[in-house]
Amino acid sequence: MKKTLYFFSDGVLQRKDNTIFFETAEGRRFLPVEDVGEIMVFGEVNFNKALVELLSQKEIILHYFNYYGYYMGSFYPREHLNSGYTILKQAEFYMDEAKRLELAKLFVGGAAKNIRQILKYYLNRGRELAEILEVVEKLFPSIESSETIPELMAIEGNIRETYYKTFDTIIDDKDFVFQERTRRPPKNYLNTLISFGNTLAYTVCLSEIYKTHLDPRIGYLHSTNFRRFSLNLDVAEIFKPILVDRIIFSCIAKKMITKKDFVNDTEGIILKEKGKKCFIENWEEKLKTTIQHREIGKSVSYRRLIRLELYKIEKHIMGEKTYEPFVAKW
């Protein structure tokens, strides 16, 4: 599996023949590109056309984020796997309201079932979550009965809002109180962690889409528009509870991230570099963790699982096999 490079320091990222190096005030570090799958830039990093040409040749995606950790954009190399026929089928499923709604329901249903798995996991470990679990499960039939995308989005929002109310019970730490979901800027430590983790999920899903025949600009739950990718947002909904949220719970419970890892800023509360590195270390470890895949009968990493999810979506729109979203089994 190829590596993800993370850059937090300010510096210059340049090409040297068929490799790259990162130069800072401390010196120059060479990085063999053959082992690199994607680059995540959080610092003030300059690069030139020669580097971009090499990244394109080696099919390496570069994602960049601003000072606050918000996703800003990606250098998405020329799509070497794109299939015109697949893109036409993707567009067909988007333009056909019934087909789009059917696929969007599957994304929401998969996310909801993984939320249920999280709640059951902590219920079995002594958390008082029975009532909330019942509320979430009662919303399940509304997913299937939805008649429009806005109606479905509203139900998805209700499920997630109900789920977020359990965070205080699960975490049980006075320094990390949920209160309400806030974004751009997040207004407390917990919301900052959720936003940062979700951003990582969106970018990893985007990187995995690049390795398939699918076009990331055509989503189904999240509307396709002129400004952003949307299919990665759809797929990330399924994995956020079992990847992002569980990392948050673990980092707080083990005191790996504390209130000292945050700073108040005019743009809200920011996760310091030390906190980002800690979260990313746990994120990378989680992506490498393997589970037994029931359908193919062998162990796969969570990162590979995201790719397999995309292959299932591709088969669905090609009419080969009805898509069934991944649901964790613990």
Instruction: Please write the tens of the pLDDT for every residue from 33-67.
Output: 888 889 999 988 898 889 889 989 888 999 999 87
Q: Which of the two residues, 231 and 296, has the higher pLDDT score?
A: 231
Residues 239 and 130 in one domain: yes
Residue 80: pLDDT band with limits 50, 70, 90? low
Q: Are residues 144 and 287 in the same domain?
A: yes
Domain edge (last residue) among 45, 75, 105: 75
Q: What's the start-to-end Cα distance of the chain, in Å?
A: 25
Is residue 208 one of the residues assigned to a domain?
yes
Token readout for 267 is 């743009």
Helices 302-317 and 84-95 meet at what angle, rounded to 10? 80
130-157 pLDDT per residue, tens:
999 999 999 999 999 999 999 999 999 9
Do 234 and 311 fall within a single domain? Answer: yes
CA atoms within 13 A on the CB side of 182: 15
Whether 71 and 88 share a structural domain: no
Query: Based on the domain organization, do 33 and 89 belong to the same domain?
Result: no
Average pLDDT, the chain: 91
Q: Quick check: is 116 in a domain? A: yes
Q: What is the mean pLDDT of residues 295-309?
A: 90
Q: pLDDT tens across 207-238, in order? A: 999 889 999 999 999 887 766 789 999 999 99
Alpha helices per DSSP H over 216-301? 231-239, 246-253, 273-288
Residues 55 and 92 occupy one common structural domain: no
Q: Does pLDDT of 251 surpass 90?
A: yes
Are the C-beta atoms of residues 236 and 222 closer than 8 Å to each other? no
In the prediction, which pLDDT does 196 show? 94
Output the domain CATH number for residue 65. Answer: 3.100.10.20
pLDDT value of position 293: 79
| Structural domain ending residue among the three candidates 75, 109, 133 | 75
Of 55, 75, 95, which residue is a domain's last?
Answer: 75
Task: Please tell me the distance from the alpha carbon of residue 245 to that of residue 40, in angstroms, as a whole number.
Answer: 21
Question: Do both 206 and 301 map to the same domain?
Answer: yes
Cα–Cα nearest to 39, from 7, 81, 80? 7
> Does 283 lie in the same domain as 204?
yes
Residue type, 117: Q
CATH of the domain at 179: 1.20.120.920
pLDDT at position 89: 95
Give residue 240's domain range: 84-317
Both 68 and 147 in one domain: the answer is: no
Give me the pLDDT at residue 227, please.
Answer: 63
Rounded to whole angstroms, how far apart are CA atoms 249 and 247? 5
Token pair recorded at residue 306: 């995201």
Q: Indicate if 60 and 105 belong to the same structural domain.
A: no
pLDDT category at 81 given cuts 50, 70, 90 is low
- 151 and 274 co-located in one domain: yes
> Is the peptide bond between 141 and the residue preceding it cis, with omega within 30 degrees of 0?
no
**216 and 293 together in one domain:** yes
User: H or E stretch including 109?
Assistant: helix 97-123
Number of domains in the chain: 2
pLDDT, tens digit, for every residue of 182-201? 777 788 899 999 999 999 99
Task: Give the mean model confidence (pLDDT) for residues 292-302.
Answer: 84
Indicate the pTM of the whole model: 0.91
